[in-house]
């Protein structure tokens, strides 16, 4: 579904991605893990077309997308739950969800999709007319996921699902993500290594813009050397 081949990217003079290659198979779930500043968000931004690729390729269903403008890439079926959630706090929950349905096919099926999403996240269904800013952090994260799903993406990019949330809330959010995973291909970027490995099939570990380790998530989770070196467990 998605492939990065030797992607190099810069922010100003600073090289943030140093030959990153990764693959997300259709229907699969892939995690990218790494410490602060490793380049995780840069990978998401490169895929979205928000950060320019200096060299290398980004392929979505075999098509090169690395030089397309972001709105065009979004139309190819890419959804994103951005770092920090970015819900529209002064708008209602319902209007936030509607904002996600910007694709023509999204609009046609909007009402059915809305029903699916409120079934997936029942709490949103009970809060549709409430201001999004009044939701808890975890509820806002569910709203950000719901909003991204309103456009019926083929591939969902999720940046730091667990950021700033209490452990119990993180469990809730990941429970919701397991439902989401059943219907969409997923690329998950996380600092919270254990949750991410438990909720993905393949994983890549990123250090200063380079992939230093990759493999089946279950194997990485079971590797004691890796736990010590990268996971602080």
Chain positions contacting ligand ATP, by CB under 6 A = 11-12, 14, 16, 34, 36-42, 83, 191
Cβ pair 156, 1 in contact under 8 A: no
CB of 229 to Mg ion, least distance (A): 21
d(CA 14, CA 9): 9
Which H or E element spans position 187?
strand 185-190
CB count, 10 Å around CB of 116? 16
Interaction partner, residue 162 (Mg ion, ligand ATP, none; CB < 5-8 Å by kind): none
Comparing CB distances to ligand ATP, the nearer of 40 and 181 is 40
Can you state the percent helix, strand and coil of the chain, rounding each to 5? 40, 25, 35
Shortest Å distance, C-beta 222 to ligand ATP = 24
Alpha helices in 62-129 (DSSP H): 70-75, 93-99, 104-108, 110-120, 122-125
211: helix, coil or strand?
strand
The nearer residue to Mg ion, 49 or 106, going by C-beta atoms, is 49
User: Residue 161 Cβ, how far from ligand ATP at the closest point, in Å?
Assistant: 12
Span 39-58, contacts to Mg ion by CB under 5 A? 40-41
Count of alpha carbons within 13 angstroms of residue 159, beta-carbon side: 19
Whose Cβ is closer to ligand ATP: residue 56's or residue 125's?
56
* Shortest spacing between CB 84 and ligand ATP, in angstroms: 9
Show contacts with Mg ion in window 57-116 (CB under 5 A): 83
User: Of these partners, Mg ion, ligand ATP, none, which one is at the site of residue 187 (CB under 5 to 8 Å by kind)?
Assistant: none
* Sites of contact with Mg ion (CB under 5 A): 40-41, 83
């Amino acid at each position: 579904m998605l492939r990065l081949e030797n992607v190099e990217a810069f922010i100003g003079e600073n090289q943030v991605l140093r030959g990153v290659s990764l693959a997300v198979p259709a229907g699969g779930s892939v995690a990218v893990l790494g410490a602060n500043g490793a380049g995780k968000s840069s990978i998401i931004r490169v895929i979205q077309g928000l950060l320019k690729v200096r060299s290398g390729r980004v392929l979505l269903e075999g098509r090169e997308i690395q030089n397309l403008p972001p709105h065009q890439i979004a139309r190819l079926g890419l959804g994103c739950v951005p770092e920090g959630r970015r819900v529209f706090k002064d708008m209602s929950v319902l209007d936030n969800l509607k904002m996600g349905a910007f694709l023509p096919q999204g609009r046609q099926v909007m009402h059915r999709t809305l029903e699916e999403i409120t079934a997936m996240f029942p709490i949103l269904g009970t809060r549709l007319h409430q201001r999004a800013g009044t939701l808890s952090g975890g509820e806002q994260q569910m709203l950000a996921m719901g909003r991204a799903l309103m456009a019926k993406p083929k591939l969902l990019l999720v940046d730091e699902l667990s950021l700033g949330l209490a452990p119990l809330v993180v469990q809730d959010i990941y429970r919701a993500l397991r439902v989401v995973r059943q219907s969409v291909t997923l690329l998950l970027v996380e600092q919270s290594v254990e949750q991410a490995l438990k909720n993905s099939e393949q994983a890549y570990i990123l250090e200063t813009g380079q992939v230093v380790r990759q493999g089946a998530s279950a194997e990485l989770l079971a590797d004691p050397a890796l736990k010590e070196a990268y996971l602080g467990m």
